[in-house]
Structure 1
Amino acid sequence: MGTDIERPQHEGLEARIADAIAPTIESMGYELVRVQVSGKERPVVQIMADRADDAPFRVEDCEAISHAAGAVLDVEDPIKGEWTLEVSSPGIDRPLTRTKDWNRYAGHVATLELMIPQEGRKRFRGIVLGADAEAARLKLDEGGEAAFPRSNIRRAKLVLTDELIAATAALAGVPALDEAGTGPDEDTGTDTAVSPRAKGAKRGPGGKKPH
């Protein structure tokens, strides 16, 4: 498993981390959606993943990926000193990083930001029309359609709408609203496993570094 899976594009440190962990989590039945590193004094490595079988992503999945990816990164040692590993699902307003994401969510609203301006601007919003390996397409809010080279997209994500919440709930086979009348969390859509780690240190009970 893994040779036919499209992996999102990353650069620099994030690319090294993605290349290191992707084969392992793919062998476990997951797909990498995004790796993001933030912070300087104690960097946070954020791993966003999906289940390959499209089943609901749960906290147990976060924990499984956290343990497996953490073990790989302890060996690869891409970051010196202390760092934190955070694993989550893409959530409802997910980033669009792969061709399958753009095509699966065609008909929903998304925003994107470019690295190099196109027609004098970097930010666009519209209805997703799909994508191939070369370009992603939107029906723009202001009218007309536009294609954007995938290599020039800095980031793109779905916009949280009632239609998207309903569609996501239908795919998962759950009600669109919980008992309190609120939808899933906008950022992750699920629980997140957070594991503080440090070079040469083992994880103690509850994911904390032993003293």
Structure 2
Amino acid sequence: MSPTWTPSASSYTRLEALFTDDQHALRERVLWRMLYETAARAEEILSLNIEDLDLEYRRARVRSKGGAIEYVRWATATARLLPRLLKGRTAGPVFLAGRRAPTSGRRAPAAADICPITGRGRLSYPRAEYLFKTASAGLDPHRDGWTLHQLRHSALQHLAQAGRTAPELQAKSRHQHLSSLGRYVRLGEETSARITAEHDPAARRRKR
């Protein structure tokens, strides 16, 4: 198992190079970009149907880990690429497999997982993960490639580095508990010390 990847200040540059490299298929570049910009779980994005998208407001309706219906939002880069990926399709999975889905037998997917126009099935998590690990291996210092879930971690790490607060990160990531965000904003003793110092009336009077 490869070591856990901790995004660094230079990670965004490496990710941007991956997102914009035309040697990778449009489907993959849209998926990777959307995962990063929404900071959503990979399962949520791969489960999206076109009917879940609100292109005008750059958001999509997802079913969260706990089963609730929530919204994730993306930025300009994803907004520009999505119409190219959809090619006028108005129903069915957003991210499609490369082949037509079998129509019978135990491997035949549910009707909701098949594009009504192309007959292709929904892109699976294992296939999407494999393609991302393969594409990112050359940029990974360990040469193992990265997992799709690491895009979520990377997005939150970069937002924290940009000064976003724990509640803001919680709103973006939809974590149920602030404690889950400690790895990004260093919640704990350091935060307690900073808050105490910043809200010390006696210290403010001494500075006058």
- Bigger radius of gyration: 2
Q: Normalization by structure 1: what TM-score?
A: 0.29
Q: Normalization by structure 2: what TM-score?
A: 0.29
Higher share of residues assigned helix: 2
